[in-house]
Structure 1
Amino acid sequence: MYVAAKGGEEAIAAAHTWLAEARRGDRSLPAMSTAQIAEQLALAVARVMSEGSLYDIDLAALAVQQARGDLIEAIFLIRAYRTTLPRLGSSRPIDTGAMICERRVSATFKDIPGGQVLGPTFDYTHRLVDFALAAGDEAAAAKIAETAPQTRSRVSDHLGREGLLRDEPRSDATPPDLTRTPLELPAERPLRLQALARADEGFLLGLAYSTQRGYGRTHAFVGELRIGTVQVAVEIPELGFAIDFAEIVVTECETVNQFTGSRTEPAQFTRGYGLVMGRCERKSISMSLVDRALQWQELGEDNVGAPAQDAEFVLMHSDNIQATGFLEHIKLPHYVDFQAELQLIRRLRREATEAQMEAAE
C-alpha cells in the first residue's frame, strides 16, 4: 500500500546538517580552503565562472567547496548569487588582440608570427596516474624557464589580409543580454554566442564531436587557440573616456572551416568562434565548432538535419541549470500524480480482466 511520507521541515533540516557533515568529511584531515581550491583546482573554478556568467575566482572556489565538487551545483549557486548583484554599468568589448598570452597554438601554420607558445597543457602528457602527487612529492616537477608573456597577432588576421578568410559581418546594434532577458528564437549570432559561452561543456563537446563525425558537414582546423589576460574597460561619462578597471583570463578559439564559395563570393574559408571566461580550452574549441554549424543559414548552406545545426535544439538544451532544474524536479514529491496514474492502471487492468471473463462466458 502506498502512503504519503512525513517529516517536513524537521527532515529537511536534518538533511542539511548531514550534508554539512558529509561536506567536511574526515575531521582528522585538514579542511580544504577556498584559496587551495582556487589555486589547485583552477580549471574546475574556471568552468564554474564561465557557465555561471560571473568572473570571481574566490566566489567560484567557494561555490565548488560548498557543492562538494559538483560543478553544476556550484554553477547554480553562482547564477543565483549573480541575480542579487546590482548592475553598475556595462564594460566595453574586450580586445583579445591585445591579450597577454600564456598559451597560444595554431594547428594550421607551424611557423606563426610570434611563435607557438605551448604553456601549461595536458596535450603532451602520457596520461599516466602520477602517484608521486599522492605521496606529496612536488619536487618531482622540473623547474620551467619562465618567459614574460606578450601580445601576439592573430593567425586569422594574416589569412584575412589575403582574402582567404570570410570577413565577419559587423553591426553597431547592441545585442540583447541573455543574463537579463530570456532567450527568444530565432536568435541572431551574437545571442547564440552568449548562450554557447555559458552552455554546459559536456553538452557542447558532444555536439562538437558530432560535427566532426559528419553530422553538420564541417571540417575544422584550429586556426588559433589562445589563453591569456585581457583588460576590461568601462566608459566614465563624467570623464569622457574609458578606464581599465580589471584584468581577467579568457580562452579564445578561432577555427578555420572549409567553404566552397558561391556565384557572388570567391572560394574562401569561414570561421567558428569561441570565447570563454577563464582557462577552458575544450569548451572554447567545442563552442567554435558548434557556432560554425549553426551558421548554415547565414552562409547559404544546406541544412542536413544535423543536431548541431538545429538552433532550437542546441540553445534550448545547452543550459545545464535549466536542464538540471527540470530533470531533478522529478525526484521531488509527485504523490498525487502517481496515485492518479496508479488508479488508472488498476482500473484498466480490472476492465481488461472483466472483458476477458465475459468473452470466456
Structure 2
Amino acid sequence: MYVAVKGGERAIDNAHAWLAEERRGDLSVAELSIAQIREQLSLAVNRVMAEGSLFDPDLAALAIKQSRGDLIEAIFLIRAYRTTLPRFGMTRPVETGEMRCDRRISATFKDAPGGQVLGPTFDYTHRLLDFKLAAEGEPVPVPEAEGRAEPTPHITEFLADEDLIQTEPRDDTEPRDITRQPMSYPADRATRAQALTRGDEGFVLSLAYSTQRGYAKNHAFVGELRIGMVDVEMEIPELGFAIDIGEVQLTECETVNQFKGSKTEPPQFTRGYGLVFGQTERKAISMALVDRALRWEELGEDDKGAPAQDEEFVLSHCDNIQATGFLEHIKLPHYVDFQSELELVRKMRREAADAAAAREAAQ
C-alpha cells in the first residue's frame, strides 16, 4: 500500500532548521568567516564566480558557506542573486594583452617572448598530504611573490607574424546575451563561449578529454596560459569617453592546434580559446579544446563524428544548473504519475499472465 507522506509546512520548516544546524556543525569548532573562505578557498570561490557569471568574491564565499560547500548549489545561489541586479550598461572588451600576469606559461616555446612566469600552481607539487597544514599555530610568513607588472604580448601573435596560424579578425558586434535570450542553433562562436564559460567544469573537462583521446581528430598544444588582472572600462555617454571602473582576475588559454587543411582552408595552425573568471586554468584549457572541436564546420573539416563536435549536444547539456534542476526534480512528489505507471504495469502483467495461461491451455 502506498501512502502519501504528510507533514507539509511544519516538516519543511523543521528541515530548514536541521539544515542550518548541519551547516554550523560542532559548536566547539570556530565558525568559518566569509573572509576565510574568500582568501583560503579561493579556487572554489573562482569556480562559483565563473559558472555563476558574477565576479564578486565576497558573495561567492557567502554562497559557499550557505551551501555547506556544495559548489553547484552555491552557483545556483549566485545566479539567482544575479537576476535581481540592475544592469547599467556594457563594458568594453577587456584587453588581455595588457594583463598583469601572475602566471604565464607556454608549452610551445621554451624561451617565450616576454618570459614564462610559473606563478601559484599545483603543477610541480608532490601529491602528498601536507600534515603541517593540520598543525595549529601562527602562520608561517611567506615571501611576497611578484608577477609581471607590464603588459605581455600573446605568443600566438608571433605565429601570426609568420602567417602560420589562422587569422581571426576582431569582431566588435554586440554578442548575444544567453542570460536574457534563449539559446538557438546554430550558435556563433561568442555564444558558444558564453555557454562553455558558464558550463560545469567537470562536464567540459570530460568533453575536452574525449578530444585528446581521439574523438575529434584534434591534436592541441597549450600555446599560452595566462592568469592575471585586467582593467574593466565602460563608455560613459555623458563624458564621451571610457573610464576605468575596476579590475578582474581572468584565466585565458589559447591552444595551438594542428590542421592539415581542407577544401576551403590551407594547412596551418588553428586556435582554441578559453576565458574564465579567476584562477580557473583547468576550465580554461578544457574550454579551449572544446571550442576548437566545435569549429569543425567553419574550418571545412569532414564531419562531426564526436560528441565534443556536436554543438547542440554540448551546449544543451553543459549547464550544471539546468542539469541539476532537471535531475533533482525527480526527488519531489510524483505520486499521481507513479500510481498511473503502477496500474499500467499491473495491467500489463495480468495480460501477460492471461496470454501465457491461454497458450498453455491450447497446448
TM bracket, shorter-chain basis = over 0.9
Shift of 1:347: 1.4
Question: What is the root-mean-square deviation in Å for CA atoms of aligned residues?
Answer: 1.5
TM-score, normalised to structure 2, is 0.96
Distance 1:288 1:195 in 2: 13
Distance 2:256 2:147 in 1: 29
1:228 aligns with 2:220: no
Distance 1:66 1:269 in 2: 46
Corresponding residue SS for 2:259: coil
Corresponding residue SS for 1:45: helix
Corresponding residue SS for 2:348: helix
* Residues 161 and 202 (structure 1), Cα distance of their counterparts in 2 relative to 1, 3 Å cut: same
The residue correspondences of 1:287-302 to structure 2 (distance < 5 A) are 287-302=287-302
Corresponding residue SS for 2:354: helix
Q: Which residue of 1 aligns with 2:39?
A: 39
User: Contact 1:132 / 1:140 at 8 angstroms: preserved in 2?
Assistant: no
* Residues 147 and 248 (structure 1), Cα distance of their counterparts in 2 relative to 1, 3 Å cut: closer
User: Contact 2:100 / 2:148 at 8 angstroms: preserved in 1?
Assistant: no
Distance 1:4 1:266 in 2: 66
Q: Which residue of 2 aligns with 1:325?
A: 325
User: Contact 2:211 / 2:289 at 8 angstroms: preserved in 1?
Assistant: yes
* Residues 78 and 159 (structure 1), Cα distance of their counterparts in 2 relative to 1, 3 Å cut: same
Distance 1:178 1:27 in 2: 43
User: Contact 1:232 / 1:247 at 8 angstroms: preserved in 2?
Assistant: yes
* Residues 249 and 201 (structure 1), Cα distance of their counterparts in 2 relative to 1, 3 Å cut: same
| Partner AA of 1:193 in structure 2 | A
Q: Which residue of 2 aligns with 1:129?
A: 129
The residue correspondences of 1:56-67 to structure 2 (distance < 5 A) are 56-67=56-67
Shift of 1:268: 1.3
Q: Which residue of 2 aligns with 1:246?
A: 246
Distance 1:89 1:53 in 2: 16
Shift of 1:352: 2.1
* Residues 297 and 138 (structure 1), Cα distance of their counterparts in 2 relative to 1, 3 Å cut: farther
Structure 1 residue ranges (4+ consecutive) displaced by more than 6 angstroms after TM superposition: none
Q: Which residue of 1 aligns with 2:259?
A: 259
Corresponding residue SS for 1:121: coil
1:9 aligns with 2:9: yes
Distance 2:344 2:285 in 1: 50
Distance 1:138 1:107 in 2: 38
User: Contact 2:263 / 2:300 at 8 angstroms: preserved in 1?
Assistant: no
Distance 1:227 1:238 in 2: 34
| Partner AA of 2:253 in structure 1 | C
Corresponding residue SS for 1:90: coil
Q: Which residue of 1 aligns with 2:106?
A: 106
* Residues 98 and 227 (structure 1), Cα distance of their counterparts in 2 relative to 1, 3 Å cut: same
User: Contact 1:254 / 1:274 at 8 angstroms: preserved in 2?
Assistant: yes
User: Contact 2:265 / 2:299 at 8 angstroms: preserved in 1?
Assistant: no
Q: Which residue of 2 aligns with 1:69?
A: 69
User: Contact 1:35 / 1:58 at 8 angstroms: preserved in 2?
Assistant: yes
Gaps of 5+ in 1: none
Shift of 1:359: 3.4
Gaps of 5+ in 2: none
Shift of 1:174: 1.4
Corresponding residue SS for 1:258: strand
Distance 2:51 2:202 in 1: 11
Q: Could you give the per-residue CA deviations for residues 199-237 of structure 1, whole angstroms, max 9, x where no partner exists?
A: 100000000000000000110000000000000010000
Shift of 1:354: 2.5
Shift of 1:138: 6.8
Distance 1:346 1:147 in 2: 69
Corresponding residue SS for 2:77: helix
| Partner AA of 1:338 in structure 2 | F
1:337 aligns with 2:337: yes
Shift of 1:169: 3.8
User: Contact 1:294 / 1:310 at 8 angstroms: preserved in 2?
Assistant: yes
User: Contact 1:24 / 1:31 at 8 angstroms: preserved in 2?
Assistant: yes
Q: Which residue of 2 aligns with 1:156?
A: 156
Q: Which residue of 2 aligns with 1:305?
A: 305
